[in-house]
Structure 1
Amino acid sequence: MNFIKKILFIVNPIAGDKDKTESIALVQKSCDFRKIEIITYFTTGFNDEEQITASVKTNNPDRVIVLGGDGTIRLLAMVLKGTSIPIAILPAGSANGMAASLNLPKNIEQQLELAFQNSTVTIDLLNLNNELCMHIADLGINAELVKNYELGKIRGKLGYALKTIPTLWNSTYPFTFKIHINNTTFERKGVLLAFANARNYGTGATLNPLGRLNDGKFEIVIFKNLNFIQMLKTLNSINDFDPEVVEIISTERAIVKCKKPVPFQMDGEYMGETKMVRASLYPEKLLFVVPDPIIEKPFFNLKS
Structure 2
Amino acid sequence: MPGRNSGRRGTIATALLIVNRRARQGEAAAEAARAALEAAGLAVAPFTPPEGMSCADAIRVGLAAHAVDRIVIGGGDGTLNAAIPALLEAGLPFGILPLGTANDLARSLGIPFELEAAAQVVAHGAVRPLDIGEVNGHPFFNVASIGFSAELAQELKAEAKRRFGRLGYAIAAFRLLRRARPFTAWLTHDGVRERVKTVQVSVGNGKHHGGGMTVAEAARPDDGVLDVYSLEVRHWWRLVALLPWLRRGTQGQWREVRAFRTTALELRTRRPRPVNTDGEITAWTPARFRVRPGVLRVVAP
What is the TM-score of this pair, normalised by structure 2?
Answer: 0.86
Q: 2:241 aligns with which of 204, 217, 229?
A: 229
Equivalent residue, structure 2, for 1:66:
73
Q: 1:72 to 1:43 in 2, by over 3 A?
A: farther
Specify every segment of 5 or more residues in structure 1 that has no aligned partner in the other structure, as ranges. Answer: 292-304
Q: 1:257 aligns with which of 268, 286, 290?
A: 268
Q: 1:97 to 1:45 in 2, by over 3 A?
A: farther
Q: Give the count of matched residue pairs.
A: 287
Equivalent residue, structure 2, for 1:167:
176
Percent of residue pairs identical = 23
Contact 1:191 1:223 in 2 (8 A): yes
Displacement, 1:20?
3.4
SS of the residue corresponding to residue 285 of structure 1 reads: strand
Equivalent residue, structure 2, for 1:138:
145
Q: 1:30 to 1:104 in 2, by over 3 A?
A: closer
d(CA) in 1 for partners of 2:276 and 2:33? 33
SS of the residue corresponding to residue 287 of structure 1 reads: strand
Displacement, 1:182?
0.3
Equivalent residue, structure 1, for 2:292:
282
Q: How big is each residue's C-alpha offset from its partner over 1:51-101, in whole Å with a ceiling of 9 and x where there is no partner?
A: 422332442320111110111111222111265412111111111111111
Equivalent residue, structure 2, for 1:239:
250
Equivalent residue, structure 1, for 2:104:
97
Displacement, 1:23?
4.8
Equivalent residue, structure 2, for 1:109:
116
Q: AA paired with 2:171? A: L
CA RMSD in angstroms comes to: 2.4
Q: AA paired with 1:203? A: G
Report matched runs for 1:185-204 at 5 Å: 185-204=193-212
SS of the residue corresponding to residue 117 of structure 2 reads: helix
Q: 1:6 aligns with which of 14, 22, 25?
A: 14
d(CA) in 1 for partners of 2:10 and 2:94? 16
1:147 pairs with 2:147? no
Q: AA paired with 2:243? A: M
Equivalent residue, structure 2, for 1:46:
53
Q: AA paired with 2:176? A: T
d(CA) in 2 for partners of 1:281 and 1:206? 18
Q: AA paired with 2:299? A: V
Contact 1:69 1:95 in 2 (8 A): yes
d(CA) in 1 for partners of 2:193 and 2:249? 30
What is the TM-score of this pair, normalised by structure 1?
Answer: 0.85
Specify every segment of 5 or more residues in structure 2 that has no aligned partner in the other structure, as ranges. Answer: 1-8
SS of the residue corresponding to residue 15 of structure 1 reads: coil
Contact 1:259 1:275 in 2 (8 A): no
